[in-house]
Amino acid sequence: MKSKKDPRREIKELLAKGDLEKLLDKAAEIHGHYCSHVALGVRATYAAFRGLGIAESTGMEEILAIVECNNCFVDGIQAISGCTLGNNALIYKDLGKTAVTFINRKEKKAVRVIAKYDPDDMDKDPEGKEAMELFDRAVKKREKLAFKERERMMELWTKLSFAILKKPENAVLDVKKVKPLVMEYAPIFESIRCSVCGEDAVETRIGMKEKNPVCLECAGDTYWIVAGRGIHPVAKRIINEK
């Protein structure tokens, strides 16, 4: 049985070796499939760690990743860096840019990595153009592809993803040192039970109604969600619109 003391041992070893292909395999396990932006997230993390002179993150907020998008790129970052939304080491900055800033709190250093992905480059390659056409139909237009078409799309995206790993770093990434932001550590809040639904919510998301604690949903108050559009106040058009 493998030691349970270090759940990220394999990823740390792959980072030390610079084995980008196996790191992409690990990221695809979380993302569900191979794609170019997951590959870019893997490369961005590897480049940032080298730039900061670090080999790992324990997910205890000593290393922070500030992402500027909510697409496939972020899964590559979460899987390889260990900075996730759940351990408060991943911060979402809603700018819509395929970029990430890693901060080393202890050393007070930061590196920003921007993906230099150009969709026009795909059109120059026959397989890239085919992959984009299938992607547009399946994802943008929400068409139901035939089984063979879907298989072909996944085959092409897998091939293109691993090809990104072999390109020179400066061809796919812009890496530069930046001034680190001073970020607070995640505060710990108490939970309070809503008097209406009976469910617990953190104290910062509880209001009072007739001297009784009420959660945002039961109170009908505005709250925010991260959806495909980015960060938005909850609205029927986001949830129900077809």
Q: Are 100 and 112 in contact (CB under 8 A)?
A: yes
Is residue 228 domain-shared with residue 119, that is, in the same domain? Answer: no
In angstroms, the CA 14 to CA 46 distance is 10
Length of the chain: 242
pLDDT at position 121: 76
| 1 — pLDDT class (breaks 50, 70, 90) | low
Mean pLDDT of 204-218: 94
In angstroms, the CA 114 to CA 124 distance is 22
pLDDT at position 117: 74
pLDDT at position 122: 75
Mean pLDDT of 104-128: 88
Is residue 127 domain-shared with residue 231, that is, in the same domain? Answer: no
Is residue 40 domain-shared with residue 107, that is, in the same domain? Answer: yes
Q: Which helix (H) or strand (E) holds 139?
A: none
pLDDT at position 238: 41
Structure tokens at 16: 């030390």
In angstroms, the CA 138 to CA 140 distance is 6
DSSP state of 137: I
In angstroms, the CA 64 to CA 228 distance is 23
Is residue 197 domain-shared with residue 174, that is, in the same domain? Answer: no
Flag whether pLDDT at 178 surpasses 60: yes
Flag whether pLDDT at 237 surpasses 70: no
Q: Are 68 and 98 in contact (CB under 8 A)?
A: yes
63 within some domain: yes
206 within some domain: yes
183 within some domain: no
Domain that holds residue 125: 9-178
- pTM of this structure: 0.90
Query: Percentage of the chain with pLDDT > 70?
Result: 95
In angstroms, the CA 99 to CA 30 distance is 20
pLDDT at position 3: 58
Total domains, the chain:
2
pLDDT at position 241: 41
Is residue 223 domain-shared with residue 126, that is, in the same domain? Answer: no
CA atoms within 13 A on the CB side of 196: 15
1 within some domain: no
Domain final residue, candidates 130, 146, 178: 178
Of the listed ranges 13-22, 23-32, 229-238, the least confidently predicted one is: 229-238
Flag whether pLDDT at 120 surpasses 90: no
Flag whether pLDDT at 124 surpasses 90: no
- Secondary structure string (H, E, C) spanning 18-84: CCHHHHHHHHHHHHCCCCHHHHHHHHHHHHHHHHHCCCCCCCCCCEEEEECCCCHHHHHHHHHHCCC
| 118 — pLDDT class (breaks 50, 70, 90) | confident
Is residue 126 domain-shared with residue 51, that is, in the same domain? Answer: yes
Q: pLDDT tens, 65-110?
A: 999 999 999 999 999 999 999 999 999 999 999 999 999 999 999 9
Closest-CA residue to 224 (of 234, 210, 214, 211): 234
> The domain spanning residue 30 has which CATH number?
3.30.1330.130
Is residue 207 domain-shared with residue 103, that is, in the same domain? Answer: no
Q: Which residues of 60-90 are buried (b: 16+ CB within 10 A; e: fewer)?
A: ebbbbbbbbbbebbbbbbbbbbbbbeeebbb
Mean pLDDT of 159-178: 96
